Structure 1
């Protein structure tokens, strides 16, 4: 060997850097610590129910626990969503939110974040039909008697909602517009507190996703009147749809989705997407029991982004038509 070869020989024996190794696959992303999941509403609402239903299964798939943090407050869950928008984009903080995520810009004139640009869509976690329920002590049993009672009590009815800009609030505004009812819309810090207000008689009625209302309906603490839209909910086969009940103009459903901060690495988004989709498949029977409908066509982050943009335009138009203006 010449002198140059002898000097280079030790270097030739060193291992190549992993990123330069020929033909070596890049290992899949996995969280290095617990994943913080922000739910921007109080416990007990549909968003919280879905997050907790998926929590254990997703944790097992990822190999790290999901730690749910309820952060209610602000219009349309603004406080919790802002916390995620400003979190480190490393895959260890995510947001699980409802339609409220895209409703916020219709309510808040100076948004502290962009609901589309400041988030990376991860996974669609289900569509949930909405059900109208009343306190069981009210003298109403169906849509016809409810509308007659509302006309007889104009301006004296408390209609509980899950906070300004929530999916429940949007569905409530659609109901109010469809019926012309004169009610006092009372905002709470989430679907759970709104439902408790109806149960306690503090409010007369509310709209809630079937997933979170189901237990209260079966316990008899609230009385269901109708499910929004054209079809009944499989979990409530005895409850008529709004169309069957004579109010076809009332059509609304909640959706739940997971988001990460913008600029989260694509590998992290892909791993989180795969984990949530797998959990949804494993828990499909339980989801069906709660009337949470999987949407396979929205399984990819790209499809979810297109859906979110479309629903943002539709939902914000509904609120404008209802006379809601950003403040």
Structure 2
């Protein structure tokens, strides 16, 4: 069974049908629900959020409206969601949720305690890419170039504290290279800077960069995973690219403000899991994001968030990176 097929089989167990999601829950929304994306349009959270929003709207009987609130590497939008009324009408999708406390010194909310879990939209490795005008074809060639020219080249991120920032720091420390880290206001702007040559390299999300990689606007040197991904089958894994320590995968938790009641969470969870199930193939093909089973309960979602905060923090502290 191929990886692509396994992902679809796993996704089939994520949720009941849309009809069942509509029929069995006590709480029903009576106005639109805002899905907060704490980054600019065009980034991975925006792409994944929009893929599942329409289908979730069908299950809920109300529009799920994507609202971009970019800034501070995802902090501004996440804080807005944390402070929203816990009434079911505001939810957050934020793949950087667990990386922010590892990089940002003063986070204005509690990453775990101020939220409750709704669902996990899927998982996807980051990608090491360069502008195609850079004279390198492989990851080892990039490392050699950067070591020979310390501080000369720029590494684009999706904002301070973003998962892309963490990926860049991991690349910089594991490869022992000196590059200038430049923060942009989201995944879309950072990828645009890479395509334009304003920045020469980066570790963008697959969702935000896969179109440019396929069209030749970016050159992918490695996916930051142990194995190749079916979304980019010709791109070597980190291990194959002689970067065994550079394993970095993003996941997309969907969260509600802390204090949201169990009936509201049950309705939201059933609707979003059904939407993820029905959108599984599109998520894989368009965004390189593969759904996984095992996150049906709010506690399971938050356990993943908590474990990831601990992991990312440990990785960066071991690499000598301190929050700023």
- Aligned counterparts of 1:235 and 1:105: Cα–Cα separation in 2: 30
Change (3 A) 1:122 1:144: same
Is the radius of gyration larger for structure 1 or structure 2? 1
Q: Deviations over 1:251-310 (max 9, x none)?
A: 001111111111111111111111111111111111221321112012321211111111
Larger RCO (CA within 8 A; separation ≥ 6):
2
Correspondence 1:114 to 2:118: no
- Aligned counterparts of 1:46 and 1:261: Cα–Cα separation in 2: 22
Q: Equivalent residue of 1:296, what SS?
A: coil
Correspondence 1:209 to 2:205: yes
Quick one: which of 273, 276, 281 aligns to 1:280?
A: 276
Correspondence 1:321 to 2:318: yes
Q: Equivalent residue of 2:129, what SS?
A: strand
Q: Is the 8 A contact 2:184 2:190 kept in 1?
A: yes
Deviation at 1:144, TM superposition (A): 2.2
Q: CA RMSD in A?
A: 1.5
Question: 297-306 or 267-276: which moved more?
Answer: 297-306
- Aligned counterparts of 2:208 and 2:296: Cα–Cα separation in 1: 23
- Aligned counterparts of 1:210 and 1:39: Cα–Cα separation in 2: 17
Please give the residue correspondences for 1:168-187 in structure 2 after superposition, counting only pairs within 5 Å. Answer: 168-187=164-183
Please give the residue correspondences for 1:227-266 in structure 2 after superposition, counting only pairs within 5 Å. Answer: 227-266=223-262
Cross-structure match for 2:41: 43
Deviation at 1:27, TM superposition (A): 5.9
- Structure 1 alignment gaps of length 5 or more: 1-24
Deviation at 1:152, TM superposition (A): 2.0
Correspondence 1:309 to 2:306: yes
Cross-structure match for 2:153: 157
- Aligned counterparts of 1:134 and 1:313: Cα–Cα separation in 2: 30
Quick one: which of 61, 64, 74 aligns to 1:63?
A: 61
Quick one: which of 100, 125, 129 aligns to 2:125?
A: 129
Q: Is the 8 A contact 2:102 2:309 kept in 1?
A: no
Deviation at 1:113, TM superposition (A): 1.2
Q: Is the 8 A contact 2:104 2:161 kept in 1?
A: no
TM-score (norm 1): 0.89
> Number of aligned pairs?
301
Deviation at 1:185, TM superposition (A): 0.7
Q: Equivalent residue of 1:160, what SS?
A: strand
